[in-house]
Amino acid sequence: MKIFRKAKDEREKFEIMRISSIAFWITLWGLLISIIIKFFILDLDLVDVATEFIILIVCTIYIVIASYYRGIWDNKTNPGLKTYLLFGFLIAFVTSILISLIYYLRHETLLESLRLFGIGFIAVFISVSITLALFGTFIRKRQKKLADKYADNDTTQEL
């Protein structure tokens, strides 16, 4: 009796990849939420969230490197100015709201919280948009390189 069977059809492989992908993203977001709760709300030290932070950074670095190596941006969007600005805006807005809300809960100064929101929003928006633009440029170059590589292989096989 075989316990492990290697032969899987396309549907099974797709379902396994889909399940793994969902589990990965749940884990990634769970780590991020855990860090936010422990560090900002429970007011724990950085040492107390170091394990979660390291795992989160390792997963993020893996996503970036694997995506670049395979020339993949995302399955729902394409690299472009609209995408960079939209993601930059969303990430900056959520991050700034979170930071200014936590600052307000700790210090109860509305004006300072609003100032922190504005400065944080501008800083995060610019840095995320520039980072995405650079990564998008690298991805497009990698996609072109991979397309040229596989186009050369197709023409040599036909001869």
pLDDT band, very low/low/confident/very high, at 2 (cuts 50, 70, 90)? low
Greatest alpha-carbon pair distance for the chain in Å reads 74
pLDDT band, very low/low/confident/very high, at 92 (cuts 50, 70, 90)? very high
pLDDT of residue 146: 87
Better-scored residue on pLDDT, 46 or 138: 138
pLDDT band, very low/low/confident/very high, at 136 (cuts 50, 70, 90)? very high
pLDDT digits (tens, 9 = 90+) for 108-124: 888 888 998 999 999 99
Q: What is the mean pLDDT of residues 87-91?
A: 94
pTM: 0.70
**What Rg value do the Cα atoms of the chain yield, rounded?**
21
